[in-house]
Structure 1
Amino acid sequence: MYCCLEHAELALDIAVDEYETAPKIEKVEEVLSCEFCENQAVYVVGN
């Protein structure tokens, strides 16, 4: 999931609920949009 700083906690919660493990969190190098709003994504959260 691509997320902005504001939605990083929400993305972490969703990833933990879905995969039941600690997700990887990496900074986004590209210009992408947050999956929860229209802001620029800062992190990618997932396994």
Structure 2
Amino acid sequence: MYCCLEHVELALDIAVDEQETAPVLEKTNEADSCEFCENQAIYVVGN
């Protein structure tokens, strides 16, 4: 899940709720957009 700095907490909460494990948080250099707004994604949240 790609997210910007503003939505990183929301992405972490969703990942924990869906997968019931601690998510991996990594910085991204790709030009993807945040999944919650139109800002550039800074982080990738997942497992």
Q: TM-score range by the shorter chain?
A: over 0.9
Report the counterpart of residue 20 of structure 2 in structure 1: 20
**CA deviation profile, 1:1-46 (whole Å, cap 9, x unmatched):** 0000000000000000000000000001111100000000000000
SS in 1 for 2:35: coil
Aligned CA-pair RMSD: 0.4
| TM-score between both structures, scaled by the size of structure 1 | 0.97
Q: Spell out structure 1 runs of 4+ moving beyond 4 A.
A: none
Higher helix content, 1 or 2: 2
| TM-score between both structures, scaled by the size of structure 2 | 0.97
Report the counterpart of residue 11 of structure 1 in structure 2: 11
Unmatched tracts of structure 2, length 5 or more: none
State how many pairs are aligned. 47
Q: Distance in 2 between matches of 1:16 and 1:29?
A: 24
